[in-house]
Structure 1
Amino acid sequence: MLPHPPPETNAQGYLLSFDKDLLQLENIHGFLTESYWSKAIPKSIVAQAIEHSMCVGIYHEGQQIAFARLITDYTTFAYVCDVFVLEQHRGQGLSKWMMKSIMAHPALLRLRRWMLATADAHELYSQFGFTPLTKPEMFMQVHRPEVYKDLPQ
């Protein structure tokens, strides 16, 4: 595993860290299971996804209040996903701070392609160079949104 930047604390007392040992699975799962992109996702699936990804969290008074996950080979490609800031902590620039830290991570500076999917945060991601696909006809997918429906939680 490549080294991560040291944790940062902002003026409001929020801590940003890439240290997976700080992640709070209950908080992450609690948000994701209600989100539009991973409704009813089992906790075991979230845990496995975290294990196989680069993750960043933001913490306030010992509680995790924000999260992002990157699926990456650290060489050519990264897919940004599962990004959230809890509602009561929004509007303070935390998602921008998290994305700025991700995009500046030394292990990711030479990636050829970054991708993500969003239904409602285009304005945030465009600030970091994300644009709509120039040739969407080149991209394909297998999408099974109901895959978690019958799995045990």
Structure 2
Amino acid sequence: MLREWLQGEYSISTDINQLNLNVIHQFLSNSYWGKGLSLEVLQLSIQNSLVFGLYQGKQQIGFARLVTDYATFAYVADVFVLEPFRGQGLGKWLLKTITSHPELQGLRRWLLATQDAHELYRQFGFTELNYPNRFMEKWDAPI
């Protein structure tokens, strides 16, 4: 189900057709977590995720996506707000929108990975793993 939230001149939409893949790819392929991300991999990841585009008018200024089963689990990925739009609370609004999304309430576990935004995510209930010894990963750095 498509949803849209409005706040002044800004909007957040789950409509995949509104996304500006060039803006998203440019940002993510140069980020520490997505360095070298191909456009093809980005497109596939978006097709298989719940996406949240952040816009000023029709201009894409931010993005986030969730990998979820809508019942028990969600993984928050690829969250960003473009530099000129930071410091206005838009990242917090984006995270509040994601975590309060009606179809995501009652999930047992939310996960994410971050190198530098721990304090931001703590404001939305994220903490370090309670049981890190229970989690494992299979890591293949090249995307």
TM-score by length of 2: 0.96
The CA distance in 1 between the partners of 2:139 and 2:32, in whole Å, is: 14
* Aligned position for 1:108: 104
* Aligned position for 2:71: 75
Whose relative contact order is higher, 1 or 2, with alpha carbons under 8 Å and at least 6 apart?
Answer: 1
Work out which of the residue numbers 117, 140, 143 in structure 2 matches 1:144.
140
* Aligned position for 2:117: 121
Letter in 2 for 1:80: V
Letter in 2 for 1:79: Y
The CA distance in 2 between the partners of 1:36 and 1:107, in whole Å, is: 30
The CA distance in 2 between the partners of 1:20 and 1:42, in whole Å, is: 18
Does residue 104 of structure 2 align to residue 99 of structure 1?
no
The CA distance in 1 between the partners of 2:69 and 2:57, in whole Å, is: 33
The CA distance in 1 between the partners of 2:58 and 2:101, in whole Å, is: 24
TM-score by length of 1: 0.90
Residues 4 and 105, structure 1, Cα contact 8 Å, conserved in 2? no
Matched pairs, number = 143
* Aligned position for 2:5: 8
Percent identity reads 50
**Could you tell me how far 1:19 is from its partner in structure 2?**
1.1
The CA distance in 2 between the partners of 1:82 and 1:27, in whole Å, is: 13
Q: Which runs of 5+ in 2 are unaligned?
A: none
Does residue 69 of structure 2 align to residue 48 of structure 1?
no
**Could you tell me how far 1:142 is from its partner in structure 2?**
1.1
**Could you tell me how far 1:62 is from its partner in structure 2?**
2.0
**Could you tell me how far 1:60 is from its partner in structure 2?**
1.3
The CA distance in 1 between the partners of 2:43 and 2:99, in whole Å, is: 24
Does residue 15 of structure 2 align to residue 19 of structure 1?
yes
Give the alignment's Cα RMSD to 1 decimal: 1.0
SS, match of residue 66 in structure 2:
strand
